[in-house]
Amino acid sequence: MHALETAAIAAAAVAAGGINAVVGSGTLITFPTLLAFGYPPVLANVSNTIGLVPGVLSAAYGYRGELAGQRTRMIRLGAVALCGGLVGALVLLKLPADTFRAAVPVLILLACVLVLVQPRLGTWLRRRGSHPQGENVLPVSVGVLGTSMYGGYFGAAQGVLLMGLLGTFLPDGIQRLNALKNYLAALVNGIAAAVFVAVTQVDWAVAGVIAAGSVVGGFTGARLGRRLPPAVLRGLIVTVGVVASVAVIV
């Protein structure tokens, strides 16, 4: 990589790390950047996934305070996320790159709708008694499995999908759910990265640049995101989700 290319990828990685910490659509910054510099799609996706892992981990660490008291969720949903991420990564290596293209914008827009209506939907579910012991365990587990499979396959707007899902079925504050989202995304990206390292080609120079930039962005995004009021964070998630769906369609 020449200096301009390295600087551009690093800047994209910082932005992606920050967005992943707060919302979760950083892939839509780094992945197109790699394509613009001529990297093949699968190589770009693999190298990008590996590079973003340290950034997602730094974001999860930055939100560690909000993870307090969520140990049971973390264990149960973490196991599901690992399984889904593993399947998604293996699917990426077997199927054409555009297999899920038609479904992705629909999923992202649906997640945006869920984020918007979460407060009222959560109240309605609780009134109907649909939150056994405070949570809908089966639906959220199935949803995390599907979202994690998608995350292991590509991952664009994985965070938006997770926030729409978690906010609908887990009655908790949006900042605590955002912390859980970062934790689950770190597991998905981590297991997918392990698969890619083991069985396919990686551009380690690109992955290294993205890793360094995403760590900076992840710590910064976590510090800023924790200070955002719930309404602002919800609006930011929806805005990024809509932009992400349009970008995928284009």
Tell me, yes or no, if the pTM score tops 0.75.
yes
Residue for token digits 């399984």?
A: 83
Sign of the torsion formed by the C-alpha atoms of 166, 172, 174 and 177: negative
In angstroms, rounded to a whole number, what is the distance separating the alpha carbons of residues 229 and 188? 27
pLDDT at 82: 97
**Rounded distance, CA 51 to CA 45, Å?**
10
Q: Which two tokens stand for residue 149?
A: 């499979």
Q: Which two tokens stand for residue 2?
A: 């020449």
Tokens of 220: 């910064």
Predicted confidence at residue 132, as pLDDT, reads 45
Amino acid 203: pLDDT: 94
| CA–CA gap between residue 52 and residue 213 (Å, rounded) | 9
Cβ neighbours around 2 below 10 Å, total = 7
The first and second tokens of residue 161, run together, are: 């999908």
Which amino acid is present at 141?
S
Question: Cβ–Cβ contacts within 10 Å for residue 56, how many?
Answer: 32
Torsion of CA 26, 146, 118, 175, to 10 degrees: -50
> Three-state SS string across the chain, please?
CCHHHHHHHHHHHHHHHHHHHHCCCCHHHHHHHHHHCCCCHHHHHHHHHHHHHHHHHHHHHHCHHHHCCCHHHHHHHHHHHHHHHHHHHHHHHHCCCCCCCCHHHHHHHHHHHHHHHHHHHHHHHHHCCCCHHHCCHHHHHHHHHHHHHHHHHCCCCHHHHHHHHHHHHCCCCHHHHHHHHHHHHHHHHHHHHHHHHHHCCCCHHHHHHHHHHHHHHHHHHHHHHCCCCHHHHHHHHHHHHHHHHHHHHC
What pLDDT sits at residue 167?
A: 80
Distance between start and end Cα atoms, the chain: 28
State residue 120's pLDDT score: 65
Instruction: Tell me which residues of the chain have a pLDDT lower than 70.
Output: 1, 96-108, 110-112, 114-135, 241, 244-245, 247-250
